[in-house]
Amino acid sequence: NPQVIPNPNSGYFKVQLPDVYNGAVSYSLCHSAGSLAKTGTTQVSSGYGDFDFSGRQFPPGLYYLTIRKPGFGMKTNLKVIIK
């Protein structure tokens, strides 16, 4: 099952994903209030993707991370707690 490691975190975390997500993925991170905090792309290798938002000034709170595999119609949604 996809999961955020660690969760809660300070803005740096890994996401464990099924191997079918290996390669380029797109993501969006939204605050629970609805504002879009960040979008981008990253590489997933051996079932893990690195996400580093620690250099950004995101207020602590609950966020929703959506990860999509372009061209495959796959999507997963995860809760992320930034403290």
Give the pLDDT confidence of 26-36 residue by residue, as tens digits.
Answer: 999 999 999 99
- Asked whether 16 and 78 are in contact (CB, 8 A), the reply is no
What distance in Å separates the CA atoms of residue 66 and residue 77, rounded to the nearest whole number? 5
User: What's the pLDDT score for residue 54?
Assistant: 66
Q: Using one digit for the tens of pLDDT, what is the confidence trace for 23-65?
A: 999 999 999 999 998 899 988 888 777 777 665 678 899 999 9
Query: 26 in helix, strand or coil?
Result: strand
Contact 64, 80 (CB under 8 A): yes
Bridge-partner residues for 69, per DSSP? Answer: 74
- Could you tell me the CA-to-CA distances from 54 to 50, 59, 65, 69, 72 in Å, in that order? 12, 11, 15, 24, 30
What distance in Å separates the CA atoms of residue 28 and residue 23, rounded to the nearest whole number?
A: 17
